[in-house]
Amino acid sequence: METVKLPIGFRFHPTDEELLIHYLKRKVLSLPLPANVIPELEAFQFNPWDLPGDLKEKRYFFCKRKRNLVNKCGYWKSSGRDKQIAASESNNVIGIKKSFVFYQDRKLKTQWVMQEFSLVGFLKTPFLNQRLLMQVGDWVVCRLYQRKRKARSPSISKNELGASVAQTTSLLPMSPSCSSGITDISSSDLDQEASSRFL
């Protein structure tokens, strides 16, 4: 995977539509991609913190459509409704976004979210007065990120005097091993409870 060198502040932040039309669709059609930045990897098979890339950034992976949602440390649970993604110009539905949350040790809900994008096409039926929406292509593209835990910083008085230390919540990557990962989750869950009192 070649790296794209960018000035500070620039990053790969595609919209859902760009991801579907310019990356996934071209991948499915075996056409050259705008940039070679999305590795092929069965992302659902790994713990999210073990996947390559910067843990603080949104990460993208091409995966085969048939995926196993369980690995040895936990599983990905479907979260929320599937969302239809429409092309901004035509307003035609071009894809579906499904969201998953990672549960560690089969019970601990983590902050890790995987969004899976698949292409769709319409199938016309001679019998029904409606079109059927179908997933197409062998590939999907996934966006992995860690949901933020925000702690509100103390207010600053208008005369520019304020508390001297900011309260910030960092996104701590979890340990690569399952067991120590659980310890990390427990402690950060406590942090979340503590910080939620400020909200």
If binding is defined by CB under 8 A, does position 6 make contact with its own copies? yes
From the list 1-9, 66-74, 175-183, 187-195, the region that binds its own copies by CB under 8 A is: 1-9
Residue 20, phi-psi category: left (phi > 0), alpha (psi -120 to 50), beta (remainder):
alpha
From the list 46-54, 100-108, 149-157, 177-185, the region that binds its own copies by CB under 8 A is: 149-157
If binding is defined by CB under 8 A, does position 140 make contact with its own copies? no
Strands (E), 44-73: 59-64
Q: Which long-range contacts (CB under 8 A, 24 or more apart) does 157-161 make?
A: none
Least distance (Å) between residue 42 CB and its own copies: 22
Least distance (Å) between residue 136 CB and its own copies: 10
Query: Which of 22, 67, 109, 149 touches its own copies (CB under 8 A)?
Result: 22
Site string for its own copies, 69-98 (x = CB under 8 A): ------------xxxxxx-x--x-x--x--
- Separation of alpha carbons 115 and 97, rounded Å: 6
Query: Which of 12, 46, 75, 139 touches its own copies (CB under 8 A)?
Result: 12
- Separation of alpha carbons 178 and 197, rounded Å: 29
Contact 112, 144 (CB under 8 A): yes
Contact 123, 84 (CB under 8 A): no
**CB-based contacts of 120, cutoff 8 Å, min separation 6:** 84, 93, 94, 95, 96, 133, 134, 135, 136
If binding is defined by CB under 8 A, does position 164 make contact with its own copies? yes
From the list 43-51, 128-136, 174-182, 185-193, the region that binds its own copies by CB under 8 A is: 128-136
Least distance (Å) between residue 14 CB and its own copies: 3
Q: Give the distance, in angstroms, between the CA of residue 154 and the centroid of all CA atoms in the same chain.
A: 30
Residues that bind its own copies (CB under 8 A): 4, 6-15, 18-19, 22-23, 34-35, 37, 81-86, 88, 91, 93, 96, 122, 130-135, 152-156, 160-166, 168, 170
